[in-house]
Amino acid sequence: MGVLDRVRRRHPSGADEPVVHRTGPARSAEHATGLVVGLHGYGATERQLETLFPLPATIVTVVPRAPFAVEPGYGWWLPESTQDGVELAPSAAIGRAVDLVGEHVRAAQLTETVSADRTVLVGYSQGAGLALEVAARHPELFTGVVTGAGWLLADPHSAVAASERPLDMLIMNGSLDPVVRREDHDATIASFIEAGHRVEHRYDPVPHVIDEAQARAAAGSIERWLADA
């Protein structure tokens, strides 16, 4: 049984429902130029990121569905509580989500025949926080990471270990976002820089969204990183 089959079996939404949404060239075609793995936000589905970034058709995009059913979609974990409108996630649940994403990434790389140095992780909202957690613990799985409307959920001063394989990162948040605080944005950036990663960031006057300018910046960064790989 392959890794992807184990992921499907573990998903509580049922084997008959789609678990992974894929776009890009057919697997029978010439090898893809890159792989983007997307992590959707809380209450969304695997199709949330489908048209977010205008990427070339030669790049495969894979977006797994999160495991917990929450109206109107799914979540990577269920919030334990909130503090000033900011969700507090249980650390054990974050760890399980990190492991699940790692399985999805390895399965996609194997299925699409794409190596880690041509793989980019993308996340929005709860998926952005999870993407940053995965990057902090498993930088060997990617060449780059793009996040929007999220921050490093664990203590940013202790969560990111020094890495011998630096990532290219683009971290985007909004000054009008009631969920992501500026101090969390800044601490996340500082933590990854201190660990040796190459971090670009944007702090635009937008709410809890990825706007058109951020989407263009993200697409440009992804294309540039994959071209340099």
Q: Where are the domains of the chain?
A: 3-228
pLDDT band at residue 7 using 50, 70 and 90 as cut-offs: very low
Q: What's the average model confidence in pLDDT over 9-22?
A: 59
Q: Which residues pair with 81 in a beta bridge?
A: 88
Torsion-angle region of residue 84: left (phi > 0), alpha (psi -120 to 50) or beta? left
Q: How many helices (H) and strands (E) does the chain have?
A: 5, 11
> Which CATH architecture does the domain made up of 3-228 adopt?
3-Layer(aba) Sandwich (3.40)
pLDDT in tens, 79-101: 765 555 555 667 888 899 999 99
Average pLDDT, the chain: 86
3-state secondary structure of 201: strand
Structure tokens belonging to residue 139: 């930088």
Q: Which of 17-31, 60-74, 91-105, 199-213 has the lowest mean pLDDT?
A: 17-31
Q: Which residues pair with 20 in a beta bridge?
A: 64
Assessment of whether the complete model's pTM goes beyond 0.75: yes
Q: Closest Cα partner for 131 from 62, 63, 39?
A: 39
Q: What's the average model confidence in pLDDT over 48-60?
A: 87
